[in-house]
Amino acid sequence: MNRNSLRIAAPAALLALAFGLSACGAANESDDSGSKGTDTKVSGTLNAGGSSAQEAAVNAWKKAFQTTNPDTTVNYDPVGSGGGREQFLAGGLAIAGSDAYLDDDELAKAKELCKGDVVEVPVYVSPIAVIFNLDGVKDLNLSPKTIADIFAGKITTWDDAAIKADNPDAKLPSEKITPVHRSDDSGTTQNFTDYLSKAAEGAWTAEPGQTWPIKGGEAAEGTSGVVAAVTGGKGTIGYADESQAGDLGQAKVKVGDTFNAATPEAAAKVLDTSKPVAGRSATDIAIDVDRTSTEAGVYPIVLASYQIACQAPAKDAALIKAWLTYVASSDGQAAAAAGAGSAPLTAEFGKKVQAAIETIKVS
Amino acid sequence: MTSTQAPAPGRAPIRRPGDRIFSGVSLGAGLLILAILAGVAIFLTVQGIPGITASPDEVKSGKSFLPYVWPLVYGTLIAATVAMLIAVPVAIGVALFISHYAPRRLGQTLGYLIDLLAAVPSVVYGLWGIGFLAPHLVPFYAWLDEHLGFLPFFGPASATGRTILTASIVLAVMILPIMTAICREIFLQTPRLHEEAALALGATRWEMARLAIFPYARSGIVSAAMLGLGRALGETLAVAMVLSVGVGTVTANLIGSDNPSTIAANIALGFAEATGKSVNALIASGLVLFVITFLVNFAARSIVDRRKEFSGAN
Amino acid sequence: MTTTLTPPPVDVSRELYGARLPTWGPRAVITAAVAAAAAAYAVGVNLLQAALLAWVICMVLPLWSAAVEGRRKATDRLVTTLVSSAFVLAMFPLFSILWTVISKGTKVLSAEFFTNSMRNVVGEGGGIYHALVGTLLITGAAAVISIPIGIFAAIYLVEYAEGNRLSRWIRFLVDVMTGIPSIVAGLFAYALFVLFFGEGVRMGIGGSVALSVLMIPILVRSTEEMLKLVPNELREASYALGVPKWRTVSKIVLPTSLAGIVTGVTLSIARVIGETAPLLIIVGTTDSVNFNLFDGRMASLPVFAFASQRNPGIPPEFSIDRAWGAALVLLIIVMLLNLIARLVSYFFSPKGER
């Protein structure tokens, strides 16, 4: 194999060399070399990867972070949460982005890898909207049980009594309902089914999971696929990140006695009322989102996506710490909200997150 | 070929250094391919076996391997078969049109355009499938359901058109360029003399094609079809985007909204979020696809007459 | 073609002077078909049905021919109609896709788009320079790896193997290789490179290896077919002149089949240049320029297009426009490759009757 790879490598290297000599950097990267010097800034390359849901937010963070720290390059491979966690646990990535917190097995492995504790912080919170496309209907109120029955195929027409009961003023046609779900495994499906199984008063019997668990309905790939299918069909209903819902109608979801819309503020607020997962250390802010919260102004269908790093990273500790500190800061959260439509962490919750990041040891 | 090289008895063949090096390099390249393939096979087997033996509660699907993979195998075969049924005749027709029917200059330009399409990324085919093809096929599917609904293939029609038949059409379009290009090159290589001989005997153009072109090009057409089939079996992203997949569905209905997934699309849909044994299960399904390709090729090769290795001017 | 040909009994007078359709016949039928379809479309029939109508009208031609010219001519006309309609049928989706890519991709093309990377760009602006560099280097290296292996393997199969068992296995396994899903090729490359470089490896050359796994079978199959088509008379003539076998292969066989081989090479490059999944796994992605195939992540056009389309951020338009732009640039690259390939085969092929 070695001789082969040498034979393979030699012409390829020549090619690379020829290309490298003749080419120059991108026009917008030329100013990088000029601004060296200030030694308070960090430098180096940070390799992260995982959740593709975070990608747009990471792009916004990268822009600001690389501008203030011009000698850094942050790479983020959107390979998916599972891939991100696996590669982090194998020691291949400095930071994993994940739509789900590490489970107990993974946590044990991570502690072994890190030779110490793990810092796991939710930094990207995205409300998941129930989107629909129905002629003549703009506003729709739905209770959790009704949503579960619609997606389970028990409620099949829009003028069903259960929907009418929540929307006494709406003119609901007798059109057929086509529910649309994600065909790929995703954190969005995980959070949506988790919500249904906890909040729908027993109407949803399937186990929550990243794979859509039941038969029936239409399936589409990715957030954009669901949005496209709901937009293209008639009488369709689906679930997708609120920021990508576009002009589609978004249902208000019943929380306690009121119907709340999927807004960033309401989504961030639910984290405050949720309980941390039992048995985790102070730096591991894993959260089971409180789906049945009855507090005013919360929206319980949210996706909380984490970034995971070692508490005492073997290398680039300063860089990792600087990155996470920025990401969790109010500036970072605002940048993600502007670039990706995520919900900024509340000040109170942000403090908890910052305290965890503060424990990262820079030797 | 062999006869020209056979040395006279009792006389050792002359082996020049150039010959030895050249044949050595050629053999080396052939063996290297075997090594690569062995590498892929070993990789798939080693990584796949834990997925095959995993107990149902260790993997995300919650099923043991066979019930998990069977609907995928079914979907893969259906999608690829329908795609081939559409693409093979069309590809041969298009290639024949370009090589022997169209005016020469026009044919070249058109061939050039078709070659371009081999480069369109899968994601574009996927977007085209969702955004253009599927909605346009909805009325057609409704018609099929209404008038041919007694056939098992045309059950209740999907309201969005994102069915396995649509996926097969997208696959057919995707494999068309490569099949057309190879068929075209081979048709163009038919010796002029054969064609002119056929025409001189009073054959019509179609009879000329049947007598002179097809016998000459048969092995090449099979190769082209196999390449197309390979791509149809292994295509991931476009199918994943276009198809509305159900959970473990097995149905004969080609135009419904609850469709079986294909192995490759299922890998694409599940891989990003998979961990532990679920990854192994996905790779094991890749191994199954590998075996299917193996069997299909085996069958195709045995059916096609391979006696004429050199269909050329022998 | 050495056997004596016995001429089939042909009624010469009928064949030469028999009834024929008027020369304007086919043209008239096609014109009528197009006109009818256009009229139907204008009235409000949908495109599919209008096309079907045109096709049905075209089918009049073989029937007419059967009535006037007899069965053989009619069959010929039927096949001509079928072949032509296969062509039109294929052109429809092909043009529809080309048009989609071109119309959506052209609006972002600008000098900035080609010279800037995506470093520190959110929202509007930015470009694909980094991805362009990555795609050219990775695909180029893949071609450098695959072309010699593929062509030499094909030479082995056609010229040296003489149908032995090994060659049958190679041929068969190459066919099996065509069915490897691209993501499996990526996983294989990743597993291979992890053996040498440890976990978390990302380098451009790994992507080239993954692409080679996909490229080699196409190359071997197409090259093999083209080599087989070289008439044996040419080889025998060369041997008869005392030319060594390797020179016969390199000077006679390869140049004769050059046009076909070059088509195969371009096709195989076109096939892999748009691959997303393997590159995402082993090459990763970055938003800065990286010229080094052997160190670190590189961006590539398909991964860039895929990620931009999938996670566009808000507002999504800018990112999605860039995705279409990247797809269009891929097409343009392949168009240029094709052009180069045509020129190569034009200047280096022996001039023959074709």
Q: Is B178 on the interface with C (CB under 8 A)?
A: yes
Coil, helix or strand at residue A141: strand
Q: In this predicted model, what pLDDT tens digit does every residue of A86-103 receive, in sequence order?
A: 889 988 899 999 999 999
Confidence band of B106 (pLDDT split at 50, 70, 90): confident
Q: Are A342 and A125 in contact (CB under 8 A)?
A: yes
| A128-265: CATH architecture | 3-Layer(aba) Sandwich (3.40)
Q: A26 and C115 in contact by Cβ < 8 A?
A: yes
Rg (CA), chain B: 24
Q: Find the DSSP H helices in C121-203.
A: 129-155, 165-177, 182-197
Q: For chain C, how are helix, strand and coil distributed in percent, rounded to 5?
A: 75, 0, 25
Between A121 and C225, residue with greater pLDDT: A121
Region of residue C120 (left: phi > 0; alpha: psi -120 to 50; beta: else)? left
Tell me which DSSP letter residue A30 carries. Answer: G
* Coil vs helix vs strand at B105: helix
CA distance A311 to A95: 11
Q: What is the CATH number of domain A3-126+269-358?
A: 3.40.190.10
- What does the pLDDT read at residue B131? 82
Does the CB of A275 have a partner CB in chain B at under 8 Å? no
Alpha carbons B94 and B222: distance in angstroms, whole number: 16
Decide: C261 and C226 in contact? Cβ < 8 Å. yes
Chain A residues with CB-CB distance to B162 below 8 A: 218, 220, 229
User: Which residue's structure tokens are 């092995």?
Assistant: B219
C13 token code pair: 């007078």
Name chain B's partners: 3 or more CB pairs within 8 A. A, C
Confirm if C114 and C270 have CB atoms less than 8 A apart.
no
Peptide bond into C9 cis (omega under 30): no
What one-character-per-residue DSSP string does A287-351 give? EE--TT---TT----EEEEEEEEESS-SS-HHHHHHHHHHHHSHHHHHHHHHHH-PBPPPHHHHH
The CA distance from C221 to C186, in Å, is: 22
DSSP A182-244: ESS--HHHHHHHHHHHHHSTTS--SPP-SS--SS-SEEESHHHHHHHHHHHSSSEEEEEEGGG
Pairwise CB contact (< 8 Å): A29 & C117: yes
Please give the domain boundaries of chain C with CATH numbers for all domains.
20-106 (no CATH), 129-353 (1.10.3720.10)
**A58 CA: distance to closest CA in chain C (Å):** 10
* Token couple for C203: 């380098």
pLDDT digits (tens, 9 = 90+) for B246-273: 887 888 888 888 889 999 888 888 888 8
The pLDDT score that the predictor gives to residue B303 is 66
Q: Which of A307, A338, A328 is nearest to A59 (CA)?
A: A338
Q: Picking from A16-25, A157-166, A352-361, C15-24, which range would have the lowest pLDDT averaged per residue?
A: A16-25
Tokens of B193: 């003399």
Cα gap B295→B290, rounded to integer Å: 9
Q: Could you give the angle at which helices B277-303 and B17-53 cross, rounded to 10 degrees? A: 130
Chain C residues close to B28, C-beta within 8 Å: 152
How far, rounded to the nearest angstrom, does the alpha carbon of residue A80 sit from its chain's CA centroid? 10
Residues 6+ apart with CB under 8 A from A301: A127, A128, A129, A130, A191, A192, A195, A239, A253, A262, A291
Check residue A353 and give its pLDDT.
94
Backbone angles phi, psi at B176, to 5 degrees: -60, -45
Can you read off the two tokens belonging to residue C347? 């200047």
Domains in chain B and their CATH numbers? 22-310 (1.10.3720.10)
> Is the CB of C141 inside 8 Å of chain A's CB atoms?
yes
Q: What band does A192 get if pLDDT is binned at 50, 70 and 90?
A: very high
- pLDDT (mean) for A196-221: 90
Which letter does DSSP use for residue B174 in this model? H
Q: In Å, how far are C141, C248, C260 from C344, measured between CA atoms?
A: 20, 21, 11
User: Which residue, B191, B244, A238, B38, is CA-closest to C234?
Assistant: B191
Chain A contact present for C129, CB below 8 A: yes
Pick from A66-75, B78-87, B220-229, C49-58 the range whose average pLDDT is largest. Answer: B78-87
A contacts of C312 (beta carbons < 8 Å): 56, 224, 244
Give the ipTM.
0.82
pLDDT for residue A14: 46
| pLDDT at site C67 | 83
Give chain C positions within 8 Å (CB) of A12.
Answer: 141, 144-145, 205, 208, 293
Estimate to the nearest angstrom the gap between the alpha carbon of B241 and the chain centroid.
19
As a whole number of angstroms, the distance between CA C207 and CA A92 comes to: 17
Cβ contacts of A65 within 8 Å, gap of 6 or more: A72, A74, A322, A323, A326
C236 contacts: CB under 8 Å, gap ≥ 6: B4
Distance CA A323, CA A65 (A): 7
| Residue A268 contacts residue A344 (beta carbons within 8 Å) | yes
Distance CA B139, CA B129 (A): 16
Of the candidates A77, A316, B30, the one whose C-alpha atom is nearest the C-alpha of residue C224 is: B30
Task: Check residue C4 and give its pLDDT.
Answer: 53
| pLDDT higher than 80, residue A32 | no
Whole-angstrom distance, CA of residue B286 vs CA of residue B167: 20
Q: What's the pLDDT score for residue B132? A: 85
**Which residues is A275 bridged to in the sheet?**
A288
Is there a shared CATH topology between the A3-126+269-358 domain and the A128-265 domain? Answer: yes
Q: What is the pLDDT of residue C352?
A: 57
Q: What is the mean pLDDT of chain A?
A: 87
Distance CA C303, CA B203 (A): 52
Contact C285 A90 (CB under 8 A): no
Amino acid in position C51: A
**Helix axes of A347-358 and A264-273: crossing angle, nearest 10 degrees:** 60
Which residues on adjacent β-strands are paired with residue A307? A97, A121
Is the per-residue pLDDT at B313 higher than 50?
Answer: no
A–B CB contacts, 8 A cutoff, strictly below = 101
The pair of three-digit structure tokens given for residue C148, joined into one six-digit string: 């010699």
Alpha-carbon distance C118 to B149, whole Å? 52
How many Å lie between the alpha carbon of B4 and the closest alpha carbon of chain A?
34
Consecutive sets of 10 residues in chain C, 354 residues long: mean pLDDT of each?
54 60 82 88 80 85 84 87 87 86 90 88 86 95 95 93 84 81 86 85 93 92 88 92 91 89 87 86 88 91 88 84 91 85 78 53
Segment among A55-59, B47-51, B104-108 with least mean pLDDT: B104-108
Domain boundaries, chain A: 3-126+269-358, 128-265
Mark B14-30 as b/e (b = at least 16 C-beta within 10 Å): eeeeebeebbebbbbbb
Q: Helix or strand or coil: residue B260?
A: coil
Paired residues of A254 in beta bridges: A259
C-alpha to C-alpha distances, B53 to B45, B81, B264, B278, nearest whole angstrom: 12, 30, 20, 11
Whether A81 has a binding-site annotation, put simply, is yes
Chain C hits for B181, CB-CB cut-off 8 Å, are 263, 267
Which of A20, A153, A219, B233 minimizes the C-alpha distance to C136? A20
- The minimal CB distance from A185 to the residues B159, B162, B273 is found for B273
Percent of chain A at pLDDT above 90? 61
At how many degrees (to 10) do helices C129-155 and B17-53 cross?
Answer: 120
Residues β-bridged to residue A240: A129
Looking at residue C354, what is its pLDDT?
44
Using CB atoms within 10 Å of the CB of residue B153, give its burial: 0 to 12 exposed, 13 to 18 middle, 19+ buried. middle
On chain A, the residues whose CB falls within 8 A of the CB of B274 are 80, 82-83, 185
